[in-house]
Structure 1
Amino acid sequence: MRIAVPIKDNRGLESEVCEHFGRARYVVFIDVEDGTVKGSEVIEVPFKEHESGDLPAFIKEHGGEVVLAYGMGRRAIAYFNTMGVQVITGVSGKVRDVLEGLAKGTLKTDPDWRSKGDFGRHEF
């Protein structure tokens, strides 16, 4: 499975999850087999401004099957759904800790993330 996580900086698994999917400058792609991280790759988002659907297409082009994010606009979620990419929102913290929670089935998410930001805007 290939997991994509929008991150605040380019430190990979040591990075924090970016609060706003559409404003992340980097995405870490993590390859996981049988609950074990087999590798990771940080890729800088190739555009400063984007149209609706650009980021989901970017994630899909890089093999993303699951996206772990804090906040994300409804249109981005809809794009991922049509592409068959699973989205888990309300995720925060260090990527390494998030992956551990996912593997152990103890991942905590914020069910109120929508009320904490403007997740339909794309500016950086």
Structure 2
Amino acid sequence: MKIAVTSETPQGLESMISHHFGRCPYYTIVTVENGAIASVQAIPNPGAGGHSPGELPALIKQLGVDVLLTGGMGPRAVDFFTRYGIEVVTGAQGTVHSAVEAYLAGRLRGYTPCKDHGKDKGHHHE
């Protein structure tokens, strides 16, 4: 299983979660095999400075990701991920490692729409 996590730095498991899916600086890709973390790779977000709707979900799909963990995401991006069969989980906090462990343990699940999305609060998601 591949898990993508929105992250602030390229520090792998120690990076802090980014709370903005579309504007996060990095995506940390965590490969899980037999319930354990097998590999970690940080990929710069090519759309951090701006992107078209659907661009970033398509990138995540091309990477073979099964699950995306993030602090927050707008409903439009969730629709793209749903079409691609990628599970979206919002509400992730702390480090990439703690979020992945919480997901694997079943403590981090589900999607809650970003409350400030679309209200001109500097909170613009894909």
TM-score range, shorter chain: 0.7 to 0.9
Structure with the bigger percentage of helix: 1
CA distance in 2, matches of 1:28, 1:80: 17
Other-structure match for 1:53: 54
TM-score of the two chains, using structure 1 as the length reference: 0.87
Shift in alpha-carbon separation, 1:93–1:81, aligned structure 2, 3 A: same
Determine if contact 2:89/2:108 at 8 Å carries over to the other structure.
Answer: no
Q: Who is 2:96 aligned against?
A: 95
Per the alignment, do residues 122 and 110 of structure 1 end up closer, same or farther by CA in structure 2, a change over 3 Å counting?
closer
Match of 2:35 in 1: 35
Give TM-score, length-normalised by structure 2. Answer: 0.85
For 2:62 and 2:10, locate their aligned partners in 1 and report how far apart those are by CA, in whole Å: 19
CA distance in 2, matches of 1:36, 1:4: 15
**How far off is 1:103 after superposition?**
2.0
- Residue segments in structure 1 that go unaligned for 5+ positions in a row: none
* 1:3 and 2:10 are equivalent in the alignment: no
Contact 2:73-2:125 at 8 Å conserved across structures? no
**Alignment coverage as a number of residue pairs:** 121
Report the counterpart of residue 69 of structure 1 in structure 2. 70
Structure 1 residue 108: deviation in Å? 7.3
SS at match of 1:46: coil
Match status 1:81 vs 2:82: yes
Runs of at least 4 residues off by over 6 Å: none
Give 1:86's aligned amino acid.
E
> Contact 2:68–2:88 (CA<8 Å) still a contact in 1?
yes
C-alpha RMSD over aligned residues: 2.2
Task: Note the residue ranges of structure 2 that are not aligned, 5 or more in a row.
Answer: none
Cα distance in 2, alignment partners of residues 21 and 69 from structure 1: 6
How far apart are residue 93 of structure 1 and its match? Answer: 1.2
Quickly say closer, same or farther: Cα 1:109–1:61, change in 2 above 3 A.
closer
1:56 is paired with a residue of what secondary structure?
helix
